[in-house]
Amino acid sequence: MRVAFVGKGGAGKSALAGTLARVLARTGEPVLVIDSDPMPGLALSLGFPATDAGIPDDATVERADGEDGPRYRLRPGLSAAKAIELYAVAGPDDVRLLQFGKLREHVGSLMRSQHAFHQIREELPVDRWHLVGDLPGGTRQPFFGWAQFATVVLVVVEPSEKGMLSARRLARLGDDEDGPAQILAVVNKSRHRDDAARVEAGTGLRVAVTVPWDEALADAERRGLAPIDAAPDSAAVGAVACLVTQLQAGAQP
């Protein structure tokens, strides 16, 4: 499967993406997680030690004067598949994590890795891994093609009016010619029975799964642990497991 998580900041993208990747990896399938958030955090949701390992500058070369194309490209001989082998880090359940790079100073410091990351995303052999993308909050990356590798885009929505305002914007990704084959909502932090119906009515998106508000998840976060390690039997992890089953079946929920 090729899925990307989008949504408002704090909606739960990283917690759910990290959990989904681990659940899927435990079925014995190869999973590559693509982290394009310049802020750190996903590694912890995956149960990796916090790592800033991104794509080093020497993975790229600068365009020569008079040449066409992007300013930086992967250095000659370095294919997308090889770059993943070199720069994606391995963690629990053998999940691989490719990070675009974490912001430490001016955003310009990520320029080379940003180009490399784009090229890798465009050229990676899609049948080799299941791909799980975790995008930063908001609309910018999704509408600039950062989720284009995904056939299914999951919009994580908190069932509040504010949450739905953001989700409605993101739902328009589905109108895009180059948009995903499927765009679905994942209701997160649900506390009321009618949340899924409200989100469907409020966003026009079909709800794939409703993840309850789960104190065990919040507690895992406080401790800096992956939900699947700290609370494997929690309701929230169970809901993510249901989502995996649905996506695997390509089922229309």
Binding positions for Mg ion, rule: CB under 5 A: 13-14
In the shown chain, the binding pattern of residues 75 to 114 toward ligand ADP, with x for contact by CB under 6 A and - for none, equals ----------------------------------------
Q: Which is nearer to ligand ADP, 73 or 101 (CB)?
A: 101
Residue 187 binding result from Mg ion, ligand ADP, none, given CB thresholds of 5 to 8 Å by partner type: none
Q: What is the distance between the alpha carbons of residues 133 and 208, in angstroms, rounded to a whole number?
A: 17
Residue 158 sits in the site that holds ligand ADP (CB under 6 A): no
Q: Which of 84, 199, 208, 211 binds ligand ADP (CB under 6 A)?
A: 211
* Nearest residue to Mg ion on Cβ basis: 14
Q: Which of 11, 55, 83, 186 binds ligand ADP (CB under 6 A)?
A: 11
Residue 14 sits in the site that holds ligand ADP (CB under 6 A): yes
Nearest to 138 by CA among 107, 104, 163, 103: 163
**Shortest CB 150 distance to ligand ADP, Å:** 16
Residue 218 sits in the site that holds ligand ADP (CB under 6 A): yes
Other Cβ atoms closer than 10 A to 62 = 12
Q: Is 168 exposed, middle or buried (0-12, 13-18, 19+ CB in 10 A)?
A: middle
**Shortest CB 219 distance to ligand ADP, Å:** 8
Q: What is the distance between the alpha carbons of residues 60 and 63, in angstroms, rounded to a whole number?
A: 10
Q: What is the distance between the alpha carbons of residues 234 and 114, in angstroms, rounded to a whole number?
A: 36
Extract the tokens encoding 239: 């809901």
How far from 227 is each of 19, 133, 151, 216, CA to CA, in Å?
7, 18, 25, 8
